[in-house]
Amino acid sequence: MFYTIDILGTIAFAISGVLVAFNKRMDLFGVLIIAFVTAVGGGTLRDVLIGETPVSWMRDMTYTYVILASAIFAIIFRSKINYLRTSLFLFDTIGIGLYTLVGIEKGLNAGLNPIICIALGTMTASFGGVTRDILCNEIPVIFRKEIYATACILGGVIYFVLREFPIKDDFVFVIAGLVVIITRLLAVKFKIALPNIYRGDVDTD
What tens digit of pLDDT does each residue of 119-160 get?
Answer: 999 999 999 999 999 999 998 878 776 688 999 999 999 999
* Residue of 43, 90, 84 whose CA lies nearest to 184: 90
Task: List, in sequence order, every beta strand (DSSP E) within 23-65.
Answer: none
36 neighbors 57 (Cβ within 8 angstroms): no
pLDDT digit string, tens, across residues 166-196: 999 889 999 999 999 999 999 988 888 777 6
In this predicted structure, what is the pLDDT of residue 141? Answer: 79
Cα torsion 49, 52, 54, 57 to 10°: value is -90
Q: Assess whether pLDDT exceeds 60 at residue 82.
A: no
**Other C-beta atoms lying within 10 Å of the C-beta of residue 131:** 20
Dist. CA 85–CA 20, nearest whole Å: 9
Considering the entire predicted model, what is its pTM?
Answer: 0.85
